[in-house]
Structure 1
Amino acid sequence: MRVNKLELYNFRNYKKQNIVFSEGVNLFVGDNGSGKTNLLEAIYFLSVAKSYKTNDINTITYNSEFSRITAEALNQKRKINLKIVNSKKGKKTLINNKEIKKLSDYIGAINVLSFLPEDLMIIKGSPKDRRYFINLAYGQIDRQYLYELTNFRLLLKQRNELLKRLSEEDNPDLTLLDVITEQLSRSIELIVKFRRNFIENINHSLKRMYRFLSDKKVDFILKYNPSIENNIEKTLKSKYKNDIYLKTTNLGPHRDDFDFLLGDLLAKDNASQGEQRIMVLAVVLAISDIIENKYNERPIFLLDDVFSELDSKRQNKLIKYLLKLEAQAIITTTNLENIQEQILKKSTIFRVQNNTIMEEYRNGQL
């Protein structure tokens, strides 16, 4: 899976930019603020039809009416053309010039896995940060999970609106609440099963990937903590009084959490920022194994400032591993001084300056 060509129009500070990527490692080198991260954001946007940084409307170049991201990509050895047009009126997503109305039918056209500074929040941030990461990663892999998540959110919204109305009544009729709760219970059961399976699959590779990147023999795993798992319908109905009083549903996938465990310790309390970066990288690489097992191809890796706080040994080890996977990797960095010459010769290098991207080196040619 890879992006061959990308065209940006009115995206962030790129008025118009065309890029031809190589199938392996692509290194984008430039000072902070030069526009490197905006490029990764554009590819991320192309994949999941939303920005990871801000409200989508803020990605449109100042004083412009719309932005457009267009790409030629390769998915399961088939060429596909992707386009997203974003304006104040909304977004339009197209695959091979055919508009895709439902977002859940667009996501997964190409799979990307990102390592971004913001991703450290999946360890040290809130449960909401961790749920968002898991939903986004798994939603690209399994469309049925995405459909069920959409169904759950609709039922949850209906139930919470009903709870608010019931809280204003002296003798509330619970008939409709029973119906919605029964439907919600079935959805919760499916989502818990999906998530538990996904975390188990991540853990198949996670210990190995963490030990490879860190050179430490300590185990690193993810633990899934569902807020409700057994006797779901019965438990939800037993909480009616509390839910009506608080006017919201207090148990379900929207309250789940995930622990990152280093040995027997919580990583968020016991790992340095450098160790946490390696942990997030290990999770990303472990998820790529799941994608490869399902689709027989690797996702596109988007790695922003990945070399920060990694020593030269780990920097080179990471790129060698990506080259070995024969995966497309799009990596931003401020310099290449620690990268071995033999690796640079196998990579394509772009120079980013003042929101302009120029190819500098490809296949041994300046």
Structure 2
Amino acid sequence: MYIEQLALKNYRNYESLSVEFENKVNVILGENAQGKTNVMESIYVLAMAKSHRTSNDKELIRWDQEYAKIEGRVQKQYSSLPLQLIISKKGKKAKCNHMEQQKLSQYVGNMNVVMFAPEDLNLVKGSPQVRRRFIDMEIGQVSPVYLHDMSQYQKILQQRNHFLKMLQIKKQTDQTMLEILTEQFINMAVKIVLKRFEFLYLLENWAKPIHKGISRGLESLEIVYKPSVD
């Protein structure tokens, strides 16, 4: 799989841009502050429907414009797959093979990317939240079900937290609803935690021989996942 073509409109500092890529190593050269990183980011956004640099989608839209559009063509096993992502102040619309996707979770995974950037050091130095986000994004690329489970988990968590606040200020007194939400919350959390364990087990098996080669056999890599519950 590789990206053959990329087109940007009103994205960051680009009014319009069209680039074609080869199925080889592609090097992007340019002066400082001309938009090289923006091109790399746009490829990531086209694949993941979100940026690795900001959580505010409005920052991706060119100044004084209503929307940004990213289009790409991905070569996958002798066929080309067109992808399109439109980012506006109202939200995001994604198309795969010219068909609009009802949910972004159905869109993510059509193009797989691995991003290496200076901020990746935060995976080691940063908070556990950074590492969880990394794991969730990588699993989401290969498992749309996981993205759906994550979405449901967040919804139930918000509902449960809201209900706890209502109990605290005495606007709710029924504990039955809390028990139902807690049970739903546990069920979804178990699914997510087990999937993370499975992913990290596979990641460790893939990375161990690579790290052993880099360290000339002097070190052995181990990845440990320690959730807040046993």
* TM-score category of the 2 structures, normalised to the smaller one: over 0.9
Residue 48 of structure 2 is matched in structure 1 by 48
C-alpha distance in 2 between matches for 1:112 and 1:171: 46
C-alpha distance in 2 between matches for 1:171 and 1:41: 46
Write out per-residue CA displacement over residues 28-48 of structure 1, whole angstroms, 9 at most, x where no aligned residue. 123432321111100011001
C-alpha distance in 2 between matches for 1:183 and 1:51: 30
Contact 2:5 2:20 in 1 (8 A): yes
**Aligned pairs (5 A) from 1:270-349:** none
Aligned-pair CA distance for 1:13: 1.2
C-alpha distance in 2 between matches for 1:62 and 1:72: 26
State the TM-score, normalizing by the size of structure 2: 0.94
C-alpha distance in 2 between matches for 1:211 and 1:25: 26
Contact 2:166 2:172 in 1 (8 A): no
Residue 200 of structure 2 is matched in structure 1 by 199
Write out per-residue CA displacement over residues 314-364 of structure 1, whole angstroms, 9 at most, x where no aligned residue. xxxxxxxxxxxxxxxxxxxxxxxxxxxxxxxxxxxxxxxxxxxxxxxxxxx
Contact 2:73 2:81 in 1 (8 A): yes
Contact 2:7 2:70 in 1 (8 A): yes
**More relative contact order, 1 or 2 (CA 8 Å, 6+ apart):** 1
SS of residue paired to 2:225: strand
- State yes or no: 1:39 paired with 2:43: no
Identify which range, 131-140 or 207-216, moves more after superposition: 207-216
Unaligned runs of 5+ in 1: 230-366
Residue 71 of structure 2 is matched in structure 1 by 70
C-alpha distance in 2 between matches for 1:180 and 1:171: 14
Residue 108 of structure 2 is matched in structure 1 by 107
Change (3 A) 1:204 1:75: same
Identity of matched residues, %: 37
C-alpha distance in 2 between matches for 1:84 and 1:172: 46
Residue 223 of structure 1 is matched in structure 2 by 224
Aligned-pair CA distance for 1:178: 0.7
C-alpha distance in 2 between matches for 1:89 and 1:14: 21
* Structure 1 counterpart of 2:114, one-letter code: L
Aligned-pair CA distance for 1:77: 3.8
C-alpha distance in 1 between matches for 2:172 and 2:98: 55
Unaligned runs of 5+ in 2: none
Change (3 A) 1:213 1:8: farther
Change (3 A) 1:77 1:195: farther
Residue 17 of structure 1 is matched in structure 2 by 17
SS of residue paired to 2:114: strand
Aligned-pair CA distance for 1:59: 1.1
C-alpha distance in 2 between matches for 1:109 and 1:155: 28
Structure with higher strand content: 1
Contact 1:206 1:221 in 2 (8 A): no
